[in-house]
Amino acid sequence: MAEKLFGTDGIRGTVNMGAIRPDMFLRFGEALGYTLRKAVHRPVVVIGRDTRASGLILQSAIVSGLLNAGADVALVDVLPTPALGWLTVQNGAAAGLMITASHNPFHDNGVKVFGPDGYKLSGAQQDEIEAIIQDPGFDCTVPAERFGRIVDAEFDVSSYADFAVRTAGPDASLSGLKVVIDAANGAGVSAAEPVFRSLGAEVIMLADTPDGVNINTKCGALHPERLSEVVRTHSADVGIAFDGDADRIIVVDENGEVADGDQIMGAIAIDAKAQGRLAGDTVVATIMSNLGLEGALSREGIKLERTKVGDRYVVERLREGGFSIGGEQSGHVVLADHVTTGDAIIAAIAVLSIMVREGKKASKVLSVFEPVPQLLENVRYQSDDPLSAESVKARIESVSETLGDSGRVVVRKSGTEPLIRVMAEAYERGNAERAVGEIIAEILKADAQ
C-alpha cells in the first residue's frame, strides 16, 4: 500500500519529496475531476493559493489534471483559505482547492479541498479520491472534445473582503483604533489591509511583502515577537498575526502580550452569550484547549465540548450540534454564522468590535481566564507505533490517575510527521512536568525495543 496522501487537513508535505510532486498533483486533479463528474456533468473547480514559490507549479499540475478529466477551472489567485471556501459557494462551484501548507515553511506545500457547500471534504470523500490516485490503471480522462476550460470567476478576493467587512454589522466602525497586522508574508496580504481600513482603523502592516520563500519566516502567528515589539513601539491598540493561509489568528494586546486561540474564542463566545447570540450556549474546542477556558466558560453558563485535534473535527461538531463558535488553541477560530472554516480576518473583526463596543483595551477583552499550567513536548519515533506498547498505555493510565481532577494528559500522534505529542495540564506546574517526563521516558523505551 502506498503512503497515505490525505492527512488531518488535506494533502501536505515537502515539495519534490515523496509523493508531493507535480505528477501526483496532476493525478489528483484527474481523480477529483472524475469524482465530481459523477454528480455534475460539467463541474467547475475554484482554485486559490498562498504565496509559496511552488504554488504555481502545483496549480499548473492540478489544472492540467482537472481539464483532462472534463472539469472547468476558475483561478482566483492569492487569497486566504477561508476566502476560498466562501468563494466556492458564491461561484456555485462543485469544489474549491486551496494550494497551501498553512503554517509550514516555504518548502512545504499541498492542497485543502472544499466541497460545494464550502466545507472541507469528509474522510470518506477523501478516501474515494485517494483510492483513484493510488490506482494508476484507473482512467479518469475524457475525449478531447470534452476537455475542461479555464473560466472566469464571478466573485473574487475583493468580494470576500466586502463580505468580511459586512460581518461587523451595518453601523460598525473601528475608527480610533491603531492596529498592527502581521500578514506572515502569506495569503492574508491580499485582503487584510483593505478590510480594516474600510472599517476605519489606522493600519500598520508587517510581513506584507511575500517573495515566494519568506512565508511564515520569523513572522506571523508562529513568531509574534516582532509584532509585539511594533505594537509597543507605535503605541498601537492591538496587533493581529495570521499564519501563511490566514485561517489562524494570534492577537497581541497593547502591552505586547500574546493571546492564543483559547483566549480569543473565550472572549468572542462570552460576548455572544451576553447578546443572546451563542447557539446552544456551547463552544466547540479540541482536547488541547486549556482547562482554564473550560472553567471560565462554565462560570458564564457556557458548555465546552471537545473534539480531536484539527479544525475539521471542530467544524464537523459545530455542524452536527448547530453551534456557532469553535476553534483551536493554536488560533483557528471558526465563527460558523459567517464562515465554514477558521478565519483570521473575521475573528479579528469580532475581537476589535468588542473592544470598540465595550470601550475596553485588548488586554482586558482577552484576559478571559488564567491559564492552567500546560506543558507540551514532541517525541520523534522510529518504530511503527510506540503508543501501541502495553507499557506505554499503562504509564499513560497511571499518570492520568495520579493527576486525578487536578489535571489531565493528552498523548497523540502528529498527522504529518513521525512525532508523538505529549501534553499535560495541572494546577501545579511541577505535576505537569513530571507527567510529561514519565510518559516520554516510557515512549522512548518502547521505541528503542
Provide the annotated active-site residues: 102
What is residue 260's three-state secondary structure? Answer: coil
- Interior/surface letters 243-277, b for 16+ CB within 10 angstroms, e for the rest: bbbbbbbbbbbbebbbbbbbbbbbbbbbbbbeeee
347-351 contacts, C-beta under 8 A, 24 or more apart: 347/249, 347/264, 347/268, 348/196, 348/240, 348/249, 348/251, 349/164, 349/165, 349/167, 349/168, 349/174, 349/195, 349/196, 349/199, 350/167, 350/268, 350/271, 351/238, 351/251, 351/264, 351/267, 351/268
**DSSP summary character for residue 171:** T
- Interior/surface letters 373-385, b for 16+ CB within 10 angstroms, e for the rest: bbbeeebebeeee
Nearest to 100 by CA among 146, 53, 137, 65: 53
Grid cell for residue 97: 482547492
Q: Is the Cα dihedral 151, 152, 156, 159 positive or negative? A: negative
Look up residue 197 and give its amino acid: R
C-alpha–C-alpha distance, residues 174 and 168, integer Å: 9
Which helix (H) or strand (E) is 224 found in, with range? none
Look up residue 425 and give its amino acid: E
Judged on CB neighbours under 10 Å (0-12, 13-18, 19+), 136 is exposed
Other CB atoms within 10 Å distance of the CB of residue 412: 15
C-alpha–C-alpha distance, residues 6 and 341, integer Å: 18
**DSSP summary character for residue 181:** E
